[in-house]
Structure 1
Amino acid sequence: CKAKGTKIAVLLGATGEKEAKAAFPDADIKSYKGGGPLLLDAVNNGQADCGVNDVSAVKGQSTAYPAGTFTIMPDLLSKEPLAFATRYDEPDLLIWMNLFLNQVTIDGRLQKNLDYCLNSEDWKKDH
């Protein structure tokens, strides 16, 4: 993706758009509006040479294509915390969610679930 003129597919307004511009200054960044497998489709159809997106999205969406269609690069351009959102008028829910996240972080359940769901393909055999 680092060669001059490489076409890189990104989601419009997403972190990947900003990260791709910084990491690949000589590339032709193509911003796509939407979501789902849009970026993978662009790469698969030859509209882009590669794509930049959230690793969990790419891993999940790439399972809809034949094995070997894509190569997922091992290095991340950035790392961001996972987050949940709640309505502004639900402070009790926000407090509960924060307490829950603290607890599952401390007792190891969060990392165990991240390893199962996002950092491996172990979940496939169970679903």
Structure 2
Amino acid sequence: MIKGYWSMLLLGIVALVQVQMAQAGAVDEAVRRGVLKVGTDPNYVPFEMTDRQGRVIGFEADLLEAMSDALGVTLEWVPVAYTELIPGLLADRFDMIGSGMTVTQERNLKLNFSDSFIIVGQTVLLHPRLAGKVSSIEDLNEAGYRIASTDGTTGEAAARRFVGAAQLRSFATAEEGIRQVVSGRMDAFIHDAPYNLIALAKPQNHALLALEQPFTYEPLAFGLKKGDYDSLNWINHFLNQIAQDGTYDRLHDKWFRDTDWLSEIE
């Protein structure tokens, strides 16, 4: 009887340990492994993009580097298409999403988000033939206009919501969407304000016009699996810490005030 009791107790302890290991969050797992794996689509200037050496750089990339340093681990990027970010997280291909992802109600049903690290909004880039014809997003809501956006983004959702009467087409990358407008095959491109602002500074896009006033409100945040509250707690405290110690402002100025980094990607 005693032997059976201790056997049952041992089995219970083993089961408890297995449950605790299964419930280990992204941060705990990264510390255990020594590597923080982050899923990203490195095509969102200036948040995450590849330089001439193929390295992922950008504002969000620097935030994640600082986060990894604070954890005492190495940062490992897992590049995927934007539409594969949430499926990849749910399939445990990486620990978290760091890819300029906007917090939406639909996405929040599938994963948890950290506190926002920046607020952006959608803006519009126009072909120069629309000068004097289009002054707001409402003006583009007509069947004669061809509107480009990027697959799986809130820009694509905004296009459906605000200019649903127009001819909508979504492209795999923002760069391709802009090229379509530059070439005249599309009339306008909808995307996040910081990206569009940087795109206008590139010589090949200098003729484009911009509706610079954002017409949506979009907080960007890091995405984690549902129920990973310990990791969310740690990340939110990290974001608060770097906001207080000047790290956030320094990195923000590096990517949004200075333009020296443009030479690294062109």
Question: Gaps (5+ residues) in structure 2?
Answer: 1-133
Match of residue 20 from structure 1: 159
Matched, 1:117 2:255: yes
Matched, 1:38 2:176: yes
Greater relative contact order: 1 or 2 (C-alpha under 8 angstroms, separation 6 or more)? 2
Residue correspondences, number: 124
Q: Tell me which moved more, 40-49 or 51-60.
A: 51-60
Question: Gaps (5+ residues) in structure 1?
Answer: none
TM-score (norm 1): 0.71
Structure with the greater alpha carbon radius of gyration? 2
TM-score (norm 2): 0.38
Distance 1:10 1:87 in 2: 27
Distance 1:72 1:124 in 2: 23
- Percent identity between the aligned chains? 25
In structure 2, the CA distance between the partners of 1:24 and 1:78, relative to structure 1 (3 Å rule), is same
The one-letter amino acid paired with 2:182 is: N
Distance 1:104 1:51 in 2: 34
| Aligned residue runs from structure 1 range 87-106, under 5 A | 94-106=232-244
In structure 2, the CA distance between the partners of 1:64 and 1:123, relative to structure 1 (3 Å rule), is closer
Q: Which has the higher strand share?
A: 2
RMSD, aligned α-carbons: 3.1
Distance 1:99 1:86 in 2: 15
Aligned-pair CA distance for 1:22: 2.1
